Amino acid sequence: MHQLFLICVFALALMSPSVSVAAEDWTLRQSDDEHHIQIYTRDIAGSDLKEFRGEMTLHSRLRPLVALIEDNAAAPQWLYHCRALELIERQSAHEKLFYMVTDAPWPVSDRDSVFRSILTQDPASGIVTIDMQAEPDSFPPNDDFLRIRQMRGMWQFIPRADGVVKVIYQVHAEPGGGIPAWLANSVVVDNPYQTLKQMREMVRQPVYQRTEINHIKDTD
């Protein structure tokens, strides 16, 4: 976890217990009825960079969605501007440390990031939450990239009784390197929108539909 030049947080996602958007906090920036995607942004106190939140509904089980998230080798195929996502350390099926490289448009330097991913599933509701938090000093720096030092994010999959899952992708990050805020904020809509749109197509692939994940319980 693709949340940075907010372009650089693709697979990453914000630690928030909320599963619904409060109108007083968020501004709707884009709504795609065909793909059932809505993109929101909001201001963050003390930061020039906006936080984004993408929401999407689709017919799916939980396991294919988690299988896609956990297939880090496939991340460049659907996480917006993700060049590579590599597993550094696996402490358990629920906790992992990742290294990500993301492309940024010239003349901005490409970024890399190190983040810890913690997966939980509520036993009553079945809601799956994947919290991610930057740990910039947990992996040696690479002189080819500028390291993102502040980021937190979240993926959340909320199952419904009709076989529909609500997907939430939420991120806020500080990319560093003197990127103008207006430039970083210009991609906070494209980033989650393109990621969710491509996720919808990727998760349909048989490799994810057939995956059995023992640490995730489907609600169907």
Q: Are 82 and 76 in contact (CB under 8 A)?
A: yes
Note whether 147 and 113 are within 8 A (CB). Answer: yes
Q: Can you tell me which residue has the tokens 């539909």?
A: 209
Kindly indicate the confidence band of residue 4, based on its pLDDT and cuts at 50, 70 and 90. very low
Q: What pLDDT score does 20 carry?
A: 44
Please give the sequence-ordered ranges of beta strands (E in DSSP) within 33-90, or none if there are none. Answer: 37-42, 51-59, 82-90
The answer to whether the CB of 88 falls within 8 A of the CB of 80 is: no
Q: Does position 11 have pLDDT exceeding 60, yes or no?
A: no
3-state DSSP assignment of residue 145: coil
For range 94-119, the mean pLDDT: 90
User: What are the tens digits of pLDDT across the range 143-191?
Assistant: 999 999 999 999 999 999 899 999 999 999 887 777 776 666 677 888 9
What's the pLDDT at 24?
Answer: 59
The domain made up of 5-209 is a member of CATH 3.40.228.10? no
Q: Give the integer Cα–Cα distance in Å for 214 and 4.
A: 33
Domains of the chain, by residue range, sit at: 5-209
The secondary structure of residue 62, as a DSSP letter, is: H
The string over 193-215, giving b where at least 16 C-beta atoms fall within 10 Å of a residue's C-beta and e elsewhere, is bbbbbebbebbeeeebeebeeee
Q: 30 or 19: which carries more pLDDT confidence?
A: 30
**pLDDT tens, position by position, 38-83:** 999 999 998 888 899 999 999 999 999 999 999 999 999 999 999 9
The tokens describing 43, both together, are 């201001």
The CA radius of gyration of the chain, in Å to the nearest whole number, is 16
Token pair, residue 26, equals 């968020």
Does the pLDDT of residue 7 top 50, yes or no? no
Q: Is 202 helix (H, G, I), strand (E, B) or coil?
A: helix
What's the pLDDT score for residue 160? Answer: 93
- Within a 13 Å sphere around the CA of 69, how many CA atoms are in the beta-carbon half? 30
